[in-house]
Structure 1
Amino acid sequence: MNSIIRRAGSDISEPFRRFLEGDLGSWLRVEEYREDGTMVVKAEVPGIDPDKDVDITLVGNELQIDVRHEEKTEHKDKRGYRTEFRYGNFSRTIALPAPVDEKDIRASYNDGVLEVRIPVPDDPTGASRKIPVARGQAGGMTGTGPEAGPATQT
């Protein structure tokens, strides 16, 4: 299964890839939308310290969000003592629609919600454009040279 995923590369969406790899437990669930030329990514991550538990990095046209979470509860009564730990690392990679400068990205944490704002153009340069098709020889080649392909005998 992993060889199939490696061959497919980035053509597989992250949720589906994580499902196939059995890695849904460490997947950071996000809300993603556009607002006035800004891409907004929100993740509900209560009980963290954003200064030490959150890493946000920009790699090419992808935003990587990593969150570490540790929660400890204790209960003491006449019959004994009980403590429970919940912890884990959660991550998410978000494909950005256009190149951005990391200096323009803003992140905030308020009431358990991590919010990342990325300014992106409304019509990114990566938008689809129609390519005209010329009739005749491919690419306007004259039929000579190595790019013309192998010679045929008649």
Structure 2
Amino acid sequence: MTDLMKWFDSRRSPMDVIERLFEGDMGTSAIRVEEMVDGNTLVVRAELPGIDPEQDVEVTVADGVLTIRGERQEKKEHKEKDSYRSEFRYGSFIRRLPLPGGVQQADVKASHKDGVLEVRAPLPEQGQETGASKIPIIRG
């Protein structure tokens, strides 16, 4: 099993489920994401219909975690001769996804098209060190 496959298998913890419940991931403000590997790049796609990515969405990478955070504001009004109807939906959302070891923050890119946010993170090569190294012990 490759390091990448181990990472996919081991990255979810019971706390992820609890956090997602409290952050609205299961409710109406949830954002759906898909993750896949395209060649040597991790690709994360998130559905964000009706959201202005320049004003309402923030994508950050810190401490090996990709965070997609934003706010949804939708308002619909129906005006007719003898009636008026208004519907609105407001709410913030956040989604945190752990990244494989060795992903460089400066190499992560995000784009938005047709209501889909796409984040691309180049993966380190298989033999590349990912932050841990063996320290030699010197006898004294």
Please say if 1:88 is aligned against 2:91: yes
TM norm structure 1? 0.66
Match of 1:54 in 2: 57
Per-residue displacement from partner, 1:112-154 (whole Å, max 9, x unpaired)?
001000111252646xxxxxxxxxxxxxxxxxxxxxxxxxxxx
Q: Which has the larger radius of gyration?
A: 1
TM norm structure 2? 0.73
Aligned length: 116
Whether the 8 Å CA contact 2:35–2:43 is kept in 1: the answer is yes
Match of 1:40 in 2: 43
Root-mean-square deviation (Å): 2.2
Identical aligned residues as a percent: 45
Structure 1: 5+ residue stretches without partners: 1-9, 127-154
Per-residue displacement from partner, 1:56-110 (whole Å, max 9, x unpaired)?
1111111111021111111001222111111211111110111322221110110
Task: Measure the CA separation in 1 of the matches of 2:21 and 2:58.
Answer: 25
Regions of 4+ moved over 6 Å: none
Structure 2: 5+ residue stretches without partners: 1-11, 131-140
Higher relative helix content: 1
**Greater relative CO (CA pairs within 8 A, separation 6+):** 2
Q: 3-state SS of the aligned residue for 2:102? A: coil
Please say if 1:64 is aligned against 2:67: yes
Please say if 1:110 is aligned against 2:113: yes
